[in-house]
Amino acid sequence: MTTQELEQLLAQQPIALLHRLARGRVQRHFRAGKRRLIEILLRHSAENRAGFESDLMILIGERPPLPIPPAPQAPAARKPKPSTPQHRAIHRPAEQDSHEPAITLSSWLDGLGVPPPKPFVTDAWQEDAIAKLREGDVVVSVPTGSGKTYVAVEAARRAIAENRTVIYTSPLKALSNTKYTEFSKIFGADQVGILTGDRRDNGQAPLLIMTTEILRNLLYDAGGGEIDIRLDTLGLVILDESQYIADPERGVVWEETIIFCPGQARLLLLSASIGNPHDIAEWLTSIRPTPCHLVRHSTRTVPLRAGYLHPNGKLMPLFRTVGIPHGHPSHLHPEAKRLFTQYEDETLPTGRRR
């Protein structure tokens, strides 16, 4: 095969194949566009022309037939048949996993829609969390939007039924207000109160909503001998968004609250997914009278898919799989990868490329 023929042959191949060919031969090949990549490959092939050609043939042989019939000097006809099987045996197993064909946009979008209305069914972890709260404190670490609020509401309902006071804290005043409205709808306005720094609405209600700072102050006052709230009837403290314990400025407030929380009250910590919820649970077990149970759940109720939208309006999957390939950040959809590289090349000022 002459160099010119080879160049022609390479030009007929899809870019994905060229990238596969460039793997291990050319550094940072994924940065190059097709023409540049062919140029680099040709230059490279000078070193070991025979090996290069046979690898190319194998790759072409593996591909499903092209939709467009190949040119007269079709590569398939020239395939050096005897060498093929051995090479396949060598190359295939190592590369197979990441080279399943990437999904198409339509299959990525498939399944979009509104589920048929069905009666609300609790998840097993929600049941578990509520049940375990009878035995001791509970730490819940689940992805955003999995239904933590349901656990809070149900736990509060049970505590109120036992004539216990429930305190619900959130890190932000705005969230407190949202929850106040939400809980008032669920429990009735007379059952829910809210405490802020300067105002107290329905402070005698069995379910009190406040920011964590306010609760910390109440606990301090109780510790100083000035009982301000019915801490003796306190049955349940719900700390929402408790991953705030790692907040550089305010995190200490969560720790203080937990340390000084009366022993007879149960603690329910609701948190987004964090890396070490077992540490929190272990810590609670070590300082609280009752053992702490960890409820952890990592799959989302509504599955998530990731996409890539190019500034020109073209939408495509971000990963080569439909769902998110956990643990494989590099399994990008080839098209998304190519367009993003192109985008970076166009927008990054020269000399700033990584």
**Min dist. Cβ of residue 43 to other proteins (A):** 29
Which position among 239, 243, 294, 297 is part of the footprint of other proteins (CB under 8 A)? Answer: 243
Residue type, position 111, single letter: G
Cβ–Cβ under 8 Å, residues 193 and 205: yes
**Min dist. Cβ of residue 142 to other proteins (A):** 10
Q: State how far the Cα of 57 lies from the Cα of 39, in Å rounded to an integer.
A: 18
Among positions 31-60, residues that touch other proteins (CB under 8 A) are none
**Min dist. Cβ of residue 216 to other proteins (A):** 8
Q: Residue 298: name the closest of 281, 322, 274 by CA.
A: 274
Cβ–Cβ under 8 Å, residues 321 and 103: yes
Cβ–Cβ under 8 Å, residues 173 and 196: yes
**Residue 30 engages other proteins in binding (rule: CB under 8 A):** no
Among positions 129-158, residues that touch other proteins (CB under 8 A) are 143-147
Give the relative orientation of helices 49-62 and 15-22 as an angle to the nearest 10 degrees. Answer: 140
Nearer Cβ to other proteins, position 162 or 346?
346
**Residue 68 engages other proteins in binding (rule: CB under 8 A):** no
Nearer Cβ to other proteins, position 16 or 306?
306
**Residue 276 engages other proteins in binding (rule: CB under 8 A):** yes
DSSP H or E segment with residue 234: strand 234-239
Nearer Cβ to other proteins, position 13 or 242?
242
Which position among 37, 217, 229, 293 is part of the footprint of other proteins (CB under 8 A)? Answer: 217
Which position among 82, 113, 263, 289 is part of the footprint of other proteins (CB under 8 A)? Answer: 113
Q: How far is CA 277 from CA 118, 215, 263, 290, in A?
A: 32, 23, 21, 17
**Residue 111 engages other proteins in binding (rule: CB under 8 A):** yes
Binding window for other proteins (CB under 8 A); candidates: 34-42, 85-93, 152-160, 251-259: 251-259
**Min dist. Cβ of residue 311 to other proteins (A):** 5
Among positions 169-208, residues that touch other proteins (CB under 8 A) are 171-175, 177-178, 180, 194, 196-199, 201
Buried b (16+ CB within 10 A) or exposed e, 84-123: eeebeeeeeeeeeeeeeebbeeeebeeeeeeeeeeeeeeb
**Residue 259 engages other proteins in binding (rule: CB under 8 A):** yes
Q: Residue 137: name the closest of 313, 295, 322 by CA.
A: 295
Nearer Cβ to other proteins, position 3 or 107?
107
Q: How many residues bind other proteins (CB under 8 A)?
A: 90
Backbone angles phi, psi at 193, to 5 degrees: -125, 160
Among positions 81-100, residues that touch other proteins (CB under 8 A) are none
Binding window for other proteins (CB under 8 A); candidates: 1-9, 10-18, 93-101, 241-249: 241-249
**Residue 289 engages other proteins in binding (rule: CB under 8 A):** no
Q: How far is CA 296 from CA 32, 131, 141, 354, in A?
A: 44, 14, 5, 38
Give the relative orientation of helices 251-260 and 277-287 as an angle to the nearest 10 degrees. Answer: 40
Q: State how far the Cα of 276 lies from the Cα of 282, in Å rounded to an integer.
A: 10
Among positions 293-352, residues that touch other proteins (CB under 8 A) are 300-313, 315, 318-319, 324-332, 340, 343-344, 346-348
Nearer Cβ to other proteins, position 155 or 336?
336
Nearer Cβ to other proteins, position 82 or 248?
248
Which position among 120, 124, 350, 351 is part of the footprint of other proteins (CB under 8 A)? Answer: 120
Residue 25 is classified by DSSP as T
**Min dist. Cβ of residue 184 to other proteins (A):** 11
